[in-house]
Amino acid sequence: MYPKKFENLIECLRKLPGVGLKSAERYAFDMLEYSEEDINDFIQSLEDLKTSIHHCERCGNLSEDNLCEICKDNRRNKNIICVVQHPKDVIAMEKTNEYHGVYHVLNGVISTSKGIMPDDINLMTLLDRINDETQEIIIATNPTVEGETTALYISKLLENREVAVTRLAHGLPMGGHLDYADELTIIKAMEGRIKIK
């Protein structure tokens, strides 16, 4: 067998999603050739992961501070809130350069099959963010069964609030994921968004 400490490294790498024994071994052997600087960078990143990377306390996006860069940016229109499942989706939206509102990142999606309930995702804090000045909630969850369920749940939740609720529309292929869509597709989906409440 490999030395115990090398086995430990392989075990750590196997915990990564979709990584089996052969891949983990391949990664570990590759890392044997790393310079000390490369390893130190990696260790520093992991230290930062523990201490410096949080969720924005307002919108749930990734952030090094209490508020993320977008929530801190005064040029963004705080009265339009785009609800996405994942921080990756914020990146995908931002690449279009067409959206100037703010975000609300659910960090998950309602899934009856996986037992993920509305309280398990960052959803209820959205209600606290909506005030008299809020004009529109754009629901940009993925066009999957779970994303649609979540969109429907949010629209029901906001039924009695004085705010427009829209849903990203055509352009996004069904069954796909927002962060894999190209910019034009996302722009089309933004333009074609329809009022669902």
Footprint of its own copies on this chain (CB under 8 A)?
Answer: 1-6, 8-9, 11-12, 15-19, 23, 25-27, 29-32, 34, 36, 38-39, 41-50, 52-53, 62-64, 68-69, 86-88, 91, 94
Least CB distance to its own copies at residue 35 (A): 10
Counting Cα atoms < 13 Å in the Cβ hemisphere of 156 gives 7
Angstrom distance (rounded) from CA 195 to CA 165: 6
Least CB distance to its own copies at residue 52 (A): 5
Least CB distance to its own copies at residue 9 (A): 4
Angle between helices 4-14 and 21-32 (to 10 degrees): 120
Least CB distance to its own copies at residue 185 (A): 17
Residue 153's nearest CA partner among 186, 119, 176 is 119
Angstrom distance (rounded) from CA 66 to CA 52: 10
Nearer to its own copies, 41 or 162 (CB): 41
Angstrom distance (rounded) from CA 109 to CA 154: 11
Nearer to its own copies, 1 or 194 (CB): 1
Nearer to its own copies, 79 or 96 (CB): 96
